[in-house]
Amino acid sequence: MKQNIYDNAVFFENYKALRENPINYNELMEQPQMKSMLPDLKGKRVLDIGCGMGDLSMYCVENGASSVTAIDPSSNMLQEAQTRNAHSAIEYVQTSIEDAVFAKERYDIAVSSLVMHYVANYDKVIHSIHSALKDDGVLLFSSEHPIVTARKAGKTWIEDEEGKKLHFAVDDYQEEGRREAAWFVDAVVYYHRSFSTLCNGLLQNGFSLIDVNEPIPDDHAIAQLPRIAHELRRPSFIILKAKKTAHLY
């Protein structure tokens, strides 16, 4: 079983604390935008890739999905999911998306919130999701934005002597691949891909792109968490919505 940073005790405790306080980037910005882009869930079979603690899986069931297959490689995350978001219509499965084996054309909708930047082989994963979706099935995923993942020396703002943010550092944009940055612990691994690679991975694997969103915070979010206003200067996330429109041979 492929392991990941979410099974590191220090990382996990910090991440859990971050998500337990609803004043965070996910709840104020990324999740509302993702949910607003979901297709009608009524009676649909959903695949939740990298379900984490299962909140989005539960949202899908509460909004009419007939079943959710929720996959994640992390024991810690799945343990939380079983505790917080157990439901007879949700099946939690411990696997990475790379190792998962799906029945062909089983799902109407595949969702994935902030997981794709942990995936090393994006093209292969998109191909496998395509095969698991029915015709006209929808894939909706969010990822860290290429502007943020680009720089090899890490994600950072350039600041003046007083700590005022002058601009965000973008570099190494066309050099795709593995990156490391400190987040709760040292050297968390993720992968940088350009915007064109994200789109072409879909277009070349039988999907049509139907929506692209670079979430921005609304006034409510800024009032709750003033520093989220920096998202107006550079986006942290990108959300892509695509439909399976072609068969691959």
Ligand X SMILES: C[S@@+](CC[C@H](N)C(=O)[O-])C[C@H]1O[C@@H](n2cnc3c(N)ncnc32)[C@H](O)[C@@H]1O
Helices (H), 63-158: 75-84, 122-132, 146-149
In the range 151-180, which residues lie near ligand X by CB under 6 A? none
The CB-nearest residue to ligand X is 52
Q: Decide if residue 215 touches ligand X (CB under 6 A).
A: no
Residue 200 tokens read as 């072409």
Q: Give the DSSP H or E segment for 85.
A: none
Tell me: does residue 73 bind ligand X (CB under 6 A). Answer: yes
Looking at the Cβ atoms of 94 and 245, the one nearer to ligand X is 94
Q: Is 144 in the site for ligand X (CB under 6 A)?
A: no
Q: CA geometry: angle at 147 spanning 144 and 150, to 5°?
A: 90
Tell which one of 47, 49, 133, 238 touches ligand X (CB under 6 A). 49
Out of 119, 139, 147, 222, point to the residue binding ligand X (CB under 6 A). Answer: 119
According to the binding rule CB under 6 A, does residue 129 interact with ligand X?
no
HSE-up (13 A, CA, CB side) for residue 89: 19
Residue 50 binds ligand X, judged by CB under 6 A = yes
Stretch that binds ligand X, among 114-122, 151-159, 161-169, 220-228 (CB under 6 A): 114-122
Q: Could you say which residues in the range 74-113 bind ligand X, by CB under 6 A?
A: 74, 77, 96-98, 113
Which residue from 52, 146, 201, 217 is in contact with ligand X, where contact means CB under 6 A?
52
Pick the closest to residue 238 from 122, 109, 174, 149 (CA basis): 149
Q: Is 137 a residue that touches ligand X (CB under 6 A)?
A: no
CB of 100 to ligand X, least distance (A): 8
Instruction: Retrieve residue 246's tokens.
Output: 């072609």
Phi, psi for residue 119 in degrees, rounded to 5: -90, 125
Q: State the sign of the Cα–Cα–Cα–Cα dihedral 79, 81, 86, 89.
A: negative
The single residue among 118, 141, 190, 207 that binds ligand X, judged by CB under 6 A, is 118
Give φ, ψ of 110 to 5 degrees.
-115, 130
C-alpha separations of 147 from 159, 176, 221 in Å: 17, 12, 22
Closer residue to ligand X in complex, CB, 67/76:
76
Positions that interact with ligand X (CB under 6 A): 4, 6, 49-53, 55-56, 72-74, 77, 96-98, 113-115, 118-119
